[in-house]
Structure 1
Amino acid sequence: MQKDLQELSANMNEMVVKGQLVDAAEKYYASNIRTVEFDGTITEGRPAAMKKLNEFVGSIKKVKEITFLRSAVDDNASFSEYILSFEMTDGSEVYLHEIVRSLWENGQVVEERYFKG
């Protein structure tokens, strides 16, 4: 499982770096995905998580940077660290140094928690 999870996590990270955030989620989110934001906001289920992600991606005017820094895998968890910078359609700028902890079951992400780096 460790090697398989390393491969799954690496593939997901590749998609994110290419800006394929929605595609990565469609490919890897389980139907019972649970996401937990920095502020503790929880989204339950794939339809709600995909809606939220699509709304966020739709509000991006320009991707300024998506840099993958590093990752680690332990048991059924993967950790990925990114720098993300976006110009939004409302004129604001978003800069994130983010760590994403993903819990996996059967090749799918069942929980994703976001931490500020």
Structure 2
Amino acid sequence: MSDFKKLVGEYKAMVEAGKYIEVIDRFYADDIVQRENSDAETRGKETLKNNEVGNLEQTKSVETKIITLVADTETGNVMGEMDIMIDNGDGTRTRLEEAFSQRWKNGQIVYQRYYWHSFQKIEK
């Protein structure tokens, strides 16, 4: 197994362990560019970290399972699908099915884009 695939495996393990802020600290390049669907780009590790902290503060818990993960060692491209379950703390859960595409350089994510349709409310 290549060093890149091991690194991507570490990324997956940390995401699935719910270490979302640690993932940003460990894997995001300082000048990362991120895009959600067709929204405007968000730039910079600190901005994305602050956004994630704010999102997590609005939930009781978040569980993420990466269902598909493909890493191309030659190009540094990574693609995958995630299933995200959010406990809203008000008796409801929200499910988000999301696909993502990333470009890695020197062991860090320099660009990522998320594709998703809508959040699904699930009654407990």
TM-score exceeds 0.5 = yes
Q: Given that residues 13 and 80 in structure 1 are in contact (C-alpha distance below 8 angstroms), is that contact kept between their aligned partners in structure 2?
A: no
Residue identity matched to 1:109: I
Which of 82-91 and 38-47 deviates more? 82-91
Q: Greater relative contact order: 1 or 2 (C-alpha under 8 angstroms, separation 6 or more)?
A: 1
Q: Given that residues 28 and 108 in structure 1 are in contact (C-alpha distance below 8 angstroms), is that contact kept between their aligned partners in structure 2?
A: yes
1:69 to 46, 67, 70: 67
Q: Which runs of 5+ in 2 are unaligned?
A: 118-124
Cα separation, partners in 2 of 1:52 and 1:4, compared to 1, 3 Å: same
Give, in whole Å, the separation in 2 of the partners of 1:91 and 1:100.
29
Paired residues for 1:2-81 under 5 Å = 3-63=2-62, 65-74=63-72, 75-81=75-81
Q: Does 1:114 align with 2:104?
A: no
Q: Given that residues 29 and 109 in structure 1 are in contact (C-alpha distance below 8 angstroms), is that contact kept between their aligned partners in structure 2?
A: yes
Residue identity matched to 1:44: R
State the match for 1:102 in structure 2. Answer: 102
Give the TM-score normalised by the residue count of structure 1. Answer: 0.86
Q: What do the CA deviations read for 1:27-84 (whole angstroms, capped 9, x no partner)? A: 0000001110124232111111111111112212133x42221210122111122101
Aligned length: 115
Residue identity matched to 1:105: K
CA root-mean-square deviation = 2.0
Identical aligned residues as a percent: 23
Q: Given that residues 77 and 101 in structure 1 are in contact (C-alpha distance below 8 angstroms), is that contact kept between their aligned partners in structure 2?
A: yes
Give the TM-score normalised by the residue count of structure 2. Answer: 0.81
Cα separation, partners in 2 of 1:95 and 1:7, compared to 1, 3 Å: same
